[in-house]
Homo-oligomer: A and B are copies of this chain.
C-alpha cells in the first residue's frame, strides 16, 4: 500500500481578482495542490483571499513567504513589471512557477528570465496562456496536426470585449488583449510569427476618448500563414472569441456556438458570455490542474518561458506597427535553446474537450 503524493504547496503572489480566482480554484476544484501562502502588500486583499483557502497564511512580500513556509510552487498574478522580482528567487528556490501573462513587461526582462531558467536542469516556468487548454483550440490544433483538410493557410480571428477598464491604452490592445492570439497562432501553426502589421478601421465612438479601436492586426508565420485578428474592446454586447481557420480543402470554426438556445420575443439565440472568466473558466481549471500534475512529476505541461519570451518580442513589434502603420518584421535575439525543445503534450486532452 503506497502513499498518495502530498499536495503541492502553492504560494499565490498577487491577491487581486485573478489571484483570488486562482486561490478559489486551487482550493475547491484542483486535485493535488493547496494554497499555503498568499502574498500581497495590500493586507486587506491578502486576508480576503486567505479566507478562501483554509490553512493559508498571508505575507506582504514573496521573500517573507519563502522564508516562513515550505513551498513547492508559486503562481504569479501581479502586473507584468512585478513578475521578474518573483520569478528569479522562485527559480533559485527550485519552485514550479506559473506566471500569468505576460512573462514580463519588457523583452529584455523576458530574456533575462529565460537565461536564468536555463541554469536549472529543466524548465520550471509555465506562462498563463490559458487558451491552449480550451477545448476549441485543442480541437483546432488536432485538426491542423492531423492534416485532414491539408495545410493551414490563414486564420480569421475575432477577439471582442464589451468594454475597457480605466486607463486601458492603445498599446494594451496588443500587450494585454491580442497577446493571446500572439501565443495561440504559433501554438496552432507550430511556427513563429515573423511579421506584424496593424490596420485601423473607422473608430468605435463608444470607446473612451483617445482610444482608437477596433484594430486589425495581421500576423505572418514563417511559412506564410496569415492570421488576421480583429480586436474590439468596447463592443458592448459581450465577450466573444472566434476563430475561422482556412485550410487547403476546408474551414474550421470555433467560438460560434453556446450551450442553450432560447426562442423568445421574436428571436432565437444564445447568450454570449459576459467576460473571459465565463468563456475560459474551464480552460483555467484545466491549465492549473495540468500544471499541478506536471509539477508532481517534475515537469511543465504548458507554454514555457520561451513561449513567453516569443510573445513579448511579437508584442513589441506589434506596438511599433501600431505607430508606424507599416509591416514590421519580428526578430528574435536568440535561437530557441535546446533546453526548450520538448513540446507541450496534447495527449492528455482534458475531458472538457467533449463537454
Which A positions have Cβ atoms within 8 angstroms of B?
1-5, 7, 26-32, 34, 54-57, 135-136, 139-140, 143, 148-154, 156, 158, 160, 199-206, 214, 216, 218, 220, 223-226, 228, 230, 232, 235-238, 240, 244, 246-254, 256-274, 277-285, 289, 293, 351-355
How far apart sit A31 and B269, CA to CA, in the bound complex (Å)?
35
Residues of B within 8 A of A273 (CB): 354
> Do the beta carbons of B281 and A264 come within 8 Å of each other?
no
Please measure, in the bound complex, the distance between the C-alpha atom of A282 and the C-alpha atom of B351, giving whole angstroms: 6
29 CB contacts below 8 A, A to B, read A4-B34, A4-B54, A4-B55, A31-B31, A139-B260, A140-B260, A154-B202, A156-B228, A201-B220, A201-B225, A202-B224, A216-B228, A235-B247, A236-B250, A237-B263, A237-B267, A238-B263, A249-B264, A250-B262, A251-B262, A251-B264, A253-B260, A254-B260, A257-B259, A258-B268, A268-B270, A268-B271, A269-B269, A278-B354
- Number of chain copies forming the complex: 4
Give the secondary structure class of A's interface: mixed
Cβ contact within 8 Å between B258 and A150? no
A152–B232 alpha-carbon span in the complex (Å): 13
The contact of A237 among B156, B264, B351, B354, by CB within 8 Å, is: B264
In angstroms, Cα B269 to Cα A167, docked, is 33
Shortest Cβ distance from residue A230 to the other chain B in the assembled complex, whole angstroms:
6
Instruction: Please determine whether B54 and A246 come into contact, CB atoms closer than 8 angstroms.
Output: no
User: What is the bound-complex CA distance between A354 and B354, given in angstroms?
Assistant: 14
A296 CB → nearest B CB, Å: 10
Q: Apart from A232-B246, A282-B352, what are 12 other A-B pairs with CB-CB below 8 Å?
A: A2-B55, A4-B7, A5-B54, A149-B262, A153-B232, A158-B246, A216-B228, A235-B248, A235-B251, A252-B263, A256-B256, A281-B354
Question: A224–B203 contact, CB under 8 A?
Answer: yes
| A172 and B216 alpha carbons, distance in the complex (Å) | 26
A254 cross-chain contacts in B, Cβ below 8 A: 259-261
Contact residue among B200, B252, B281 (Cβ-Cβ distance under 8 Å from A261): B252
Q: Write the nearest CB–CB distance from A80 to chain B, whole angstroms.
A: 25
A267 B265 Cβ-Cβ under 8 A: no
